[in-house]
Amino acid sequence: MPANHPIELLRFNTCGSVDDGKSTLIGRLLYDSKNLMEDQLEALERSADITGGGQINLANLTDGLRAEREQGITIDVAYRYFATPRRKFIVADTPGHVQYTRNMVTGASTANLSIVLVDARQGVIEQSRRHTYIASLLRIPHLVIAVNKMDLVDWSHERFLEIRDDFGSFLPRLDMKDVKFIPMSALNGDNVVDPSKHTPWYVGPTLLGHLEDVHIASDWNLSGFRLPVQWVNRPNTPRDPALHDFRGLSGQIAGGIVKVGQKVMVLPSGLKSTVKEIWTYSGKLQEAFCPQSVTLVLADDLDISRGDMVVGLDSMPGVGTDLHARVAWMHPRPLQRGKKYLLKHTTQTVQSVVTALENRIDIHTYEPQPEPAELAMNDIGEIRLKVAKPLVFDGYATNRLTGSFVLIEPGTNATVAAGMLQPPLEAVKPEYNDFAI
Amino acid sequence: MSSYHLDHLQYLETEAIHIMREVAAEFERPVLLFSGGKDSICLLRLAEKAFRPSDLPMPFLNVETGHEFPELIEFRDRRAKELGAKLIVRTVDQAIADGTAMPAPGEISRNKLQIPVLLGAIEEFRFDCAIGGARRDEEKARAKERFFSFRDGFGQWDPKNQRPEIWNLYNARVNPGENMRVFPLSNWTEMDVWEYIKQEKLEVPNIYFSHTRECFRRGGQWLPVPTPHADASRPDPYEGARPRPNEKRATMVVRVRTIADMISTGMIESPATSVDDIIGEVSAARVTERGTRADDKASEAAMEDRKKAGYF
């Protein structure tokens, strides 16, 4: 690796059913890539003497809470960090039991890649279909199907192909662009970091090899400029008199590239201006891109506040109060028509009401069942919402950041749903401001 | 590699700045926990990056155990002044005098006693959000915590009932009396922190660099020998934390890797005199950072128990 070569960050999550060996797999990745420290190994050995009958249990590395160690399960998303000379990795270990699917959505929503674990003996089960579906729903760019416990099926190539064919019967319906199947044994370390001598019939990379190589530079949207205004930066008592009239729009770029001198529109007002400066603490920039955090100064002094969005004129988003979305429901109190929620989208929170439940997805068949009475915890379905204030949005398939929202139950403040917007029926016209003013 | 691509530190930075700004926009009375340690030093730079040229829109808070390294206190006060921030200090000593914190008989460490002091300060100033420098790679219970970690009216963390945190949409809503702990460095590792300190040329307290210090051996660690107790009219604050006759003493070249207070920070023997030296040391390290913290060794669930009770 040449010196000063930038190190990329890859975020991935692991999902699978109970006992598919997720925690063992992460433990194995850390162990074999020499990312474990002596005191962690000692702690492992200590717990092996007490609870493991002398066997080191790699799952103890990720099962952090007392209840988890006692019950031998994972009850919440655990994050792990490790590095190789080529990349840094953030791992979200997401639980497999059916009641914790909301945690998988939490762990997977920011991932570049998902690993779905399958027990080679059991093959495709309901959880495999659910996790694969959620990965596709969240539009995670890369998917790995880790066919684990191959040692328990005598490293049978035939069994591996059978499982791959089973996935083949439903994967084409899910619009996943990049899927990789890897036969492995996390317990014994085959094809995790080191190639296995038991799989001469497998010619692909090991799991770590794939994680280091997979192309992630295109995972962010760089096509349509979007800056949700997060915080208006107005110094009250600037030490520098030149900053007396400073009015900056601070936020994280949610899509595209912005350049000094570029014409932009502020939505939903429709007012146009030009980018005068791209201000950062470390100095002014000529251009900035997603997902940088910057402060824009516009040429005109417009009335702009948190929740507004600055967009490029070449690719316009939709604006509206009627929304059509897929949601993953995450709360024991079901979603029903007529219920009201707070909806957080980019940097604003607005009132919303559920106007229709269009369908519920059957996780076995992926078939939509029309007009369900409600969506229960872990259900996925399509709904329509009306919001109290126009939202500026893109379809989730176009932009994960401007096409997503969460629903919050008023009063308890519980986060009850993850929402993915369908594309707007009509985009804003660049001449929009002619009638908006 | 395309020029429209962030390296890992730039990615962690933009994520943290976004979180800082969400706090400023969503909360009425946020506070930033600043100890003078390396993680909170990074927090200050991120706050500058998030909010300049404006003033930082939140005061700093530090809870003193009474056993601080003097170098750290000096550094903390100076940095707050340089940044033009208001620094609030609350102490375990005062809480004990007021009867709001009760030391357990025979327990020397005041680590747990910081909990009522922190909760007291949150109540006193009606803070609805406290930004902390904790990182998920530090400890197993931390590894399960959200960026926005909800605390009920008693300041408690309920690990089984955390709010799902999806995309970069943080649910910051709290009812009166409840509060949020926010950890912008959640995804940072010890190495990332030092690389960031290097990149940003950040000053750190000199105890992070190697120096000569008198230490004594206890519990498998080298602990610093506290300064002598001068004022005989008051009880010795380091009672129990001074070397006993049977404990080995040595004058050594040491530094700290992680800072709690003087009685729970193990010193490591090290010749590191620069940030580059420290980065070299961290990359070659064979024990984790928290391996030098006596407060975490109490039991496998030590951190989990303290967090549930309202710890940082």
* Domain span(s) for CATH 3.40.50.620 in chain B: 8-199+301-308
Q: Which residues of A touch B296 (CB under 8 A)?
A: none
Percent of chain A whose predicted confidence (pLDDT) is above 90: 66
Q: Which of A312, A342, A370 is the last residue of a domain?
A: A312
- pLDDT, residue B262, reads 87
The mean pLDDT of chain A is 88
Pick from B195, B181, B266: which is nearest to B42 by CA?
Answer: B195
Nearest to B166 among A75, A235, A406 (CB): A406
Look at chain A and report how many structural domains it folds into. 3
Nearest alpha-carbon partner for A111 in A211, A258, A5 = A211
Same domain, A63 and A118: yes
Q: Over the stretch A358-396, which tens digit does the pLDDT of each residue have?
A: 999 988 788 999 999 999 998 999 999 999 999 999 999
Instruction: Tell me, yes or no, whether A67 and A151 share the same domain.
Output: yes
Query: Does residue A326 have a pLDDT over 60?
Result: yes
Please enumerate in sequence order all residues whose Cβ is within 8 A of that of A36, keeping only pairs 6 or more positions apart, or say none: A30, A61
Query: Is the model more confident about A95 or about A205?
Result: A205
B235: pLDDT confidence band, cut at 50, 70 and 90?
confident
Q: Tell whether A295 is covered by a domain.
A: yes
CATH for A256? 2.40.30.10
Residue pair A351/A368 in contact by the 8 Å Cβ criterion: no
The answer as to whether A172 is a domain residue is yes
What's the pLDDT score for residue B297?
53
pLDDT of B102 higher than 70? yes
Residue A197 shares a structural domain with residue A339 = no
Between these two residues, A149 and B105, which has the higher pLDDT value? A149
Interface probe for A, chosen from B2, B144, B150, B202 (most Cβ of A below 10 Å), is: B144
Q: What is the pLDDT of residues A154-199, one digit of tens each?
A: 999 999 999 999 999 999 999 888 999 999 999 889 999 999 999 9
B chain contacts of residue A401, beta-carbon cutoff 8 Å: 167-168
Residue A436 falls inside a structural domain: no
- The 10 Å Cβ neighbour count of residue B110 is 27
Q: How far is B164 from chain A (nearest CA, A)?
A: 6
Claim to verify: residue A246 and residue A325 sit in the same structural domain: no
* Residues A287, A405 within the same domain: no
At A48, is the pLDDT very low, low, confident or very high (cuts 50, 70, 90)? low
**Most confident by average pLDDT, A26-40, A237-251, B209-223:** B209-223
Mutation choice for B interface testing from A30, A100, A218, A233 by most B CBs within 10 A: A233
B100 and chain A: CB distance < 8 Å anywhere?
A: no
d(CA A180, CA A138): 18
Whether residue A106 is found in the same domain as residue A160 = yes
My answer on whether A66 and A183 are in the same domain is yes
Largest CA distance in chain A: 76
* Contact B49/A at CB under 8 A: yes
Enter the pTM of the model.
Answer: 0.92
Q: Where are the beta strands (DSSP E) in A139-262?
A: 142-148, 178-183, 226-228, 231-233, 248-252, 257-259
Nearest residue in chain B measured CA to CA from A280: B49
**Mean pLDDT, range B34-50, rounded to an integer:** 97
**CA–CA dist A150, A122 (Å, integer):** 11
Question: What pLDDT, on a 0 to 100 scale, did the predictor assign at position A78?
Answer: 81
Q: Which of the four pLDDT bands, split at 50, 70 and 90, describes residue B215?
A: very high
Q: Check: CB of residue A402 under 8 Å from CB of residue A392.
A: yes
pLDDT category at A59 given cuts 50, 70, 90 is low
**Residue type at position A194:** D
Alpha-carbon distance of A304 to A249, in angstroms, equals 8
Cβ-contact B122, B179 below 8 angstroms: yes
| pLDDT recorded at residue A437 | 39
Q: What is the CATH number of the domain that holds A82?
A: 3.40.50.300
Percent of residues, chain B, with pLDDT higher than 90: 67
In this complex, do A250 and B49 lie within 8 Å of one another by their Cβ atoms?
no
Task: Assess B128–A contact: CB distance below 8 Å, yes or no.
Answer: no
Reported as a pLDDT band with limits 50, 70 and 90, residue A297 is very high
Mean pLDDT, residues A74-80 taken together: 75
- Give the pLDDT confidence score for residue B206 in this predicted structure: 95
* Interchain pair A7, B189: CB under 8 A: no
Residue ranges of alpha helices (H) inside chain B are 8-26, 38-51, 70-82, 92-98, 114-124, 190-199, 275-284, 302-308
Do A75 and A144 have their domain in common? yes
- DSSP 3-state of B226: coil
**Interval A232-253 mean pLDDT:** 88
Q: Could B7 and A43 be called an inter-chain contact, meaning their C-beta atoms sit closer than 8 Å?
A: no
Domain that holds residue A125: 8-213
CATH label, B8-199+301-308, candidates 3.90.1150.10, 3.60.20.10, 3.40.50.620, 3.40.50.2300: 3.40.50.620
Q: A199 and A231, same structural domain? A: no
Q: Which of A269, A261, A345 is closest to A299 using CA atoms? A: A261
Q: Last residue of some domain: A213, A246, A267?
A: A213
Same domain, A32 and A89: yes
| Assigned domain for A92 exists | yes
Establish whether this prediction's ipTM goes over 0.90: yes
Cβ pair A288, A198 in contact under 8 A: no
Rounded Cα distance, A249 and A266, in Å: 11
Asked if A110's CB is within 8 angstroms of B167's CB, the reply is: yes
Instruction: Count A/B contacts: CB-CB distance under 8 Å.
Output: 179
Q: Give pLDDT, residue A70.
A: 60
